[in-house]
């Protein structure tokens, strides 16, 4: 039952872009984790630029390095 929460700076994302993104992520999870497409859920969560460090970097990237599988190059 994988759930993917994608945090990003606020920007316009069309319904078609959301659909394509969800399909790509679901396909990757099916392939690499052996789950089924119907078990996957995906959310897009806009985070304001001035809140990024406090909301994402500190608690999720720096605060949980044991879970991080790809480190961003801006750190």
Is the pTM higher than 0.85? yes
Tokens of residue 24, six digits: 């790509």
CATH code, domain carrying 23: 3.30.429.10
Residue 2 annotated as catalytic: yes
Query: For 14-49, how does the pLDDT look when each residue is reduced to its tens digit (9 = 90+)?
Result: 999 999 999 999 999 999 999 999 999 999 999 999
| 39 in any annotated domain | yes
- pLDDT range class, residue 10, cuts 50, 70, 90: very high
What is the pLDDT, as a whole number, of residue 62?
97
Residues whose CB is less than 8 angstroms from the CB of residue 72 and which lie 6 or more positions away in sequence, other chains included: 61
Q: Taking residues 51-75, what's their average pLDDT? A: 96
How many domains is the chain built from?
1
Q: Which domain holds residue 26?
A: 3-47
For 15, 50, 72, the CA distances from 40, given in Å and listed in that order, are: 18, 30, 24
| 32 in any annotated domain | yes
| 34 in any annotated domain | yes
| 70 in any annotated domain | no
Q: Which of 2, 59, 65, 72 is catalytic?
A: 2
| 40 in any annotated domain | yes
| 26 in any annotated domain | yes
């Amino acid at each position: 039952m994988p759930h993917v929460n994608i945090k990003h700076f606020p920007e316009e994302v069309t319904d078609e872009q959301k659909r394509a993104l969800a399909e790509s992520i679901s396909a990757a999870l099916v392939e690499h984790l052996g789950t089924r497409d119907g078990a996957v859920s995906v959310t897009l969560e806009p985070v304001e630029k001035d809140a990024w460090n406090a909301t994402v970097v500190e608690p999720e990237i720096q605060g949980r390095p044991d879970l991080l599988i790809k480190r961003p190059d801006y750190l």
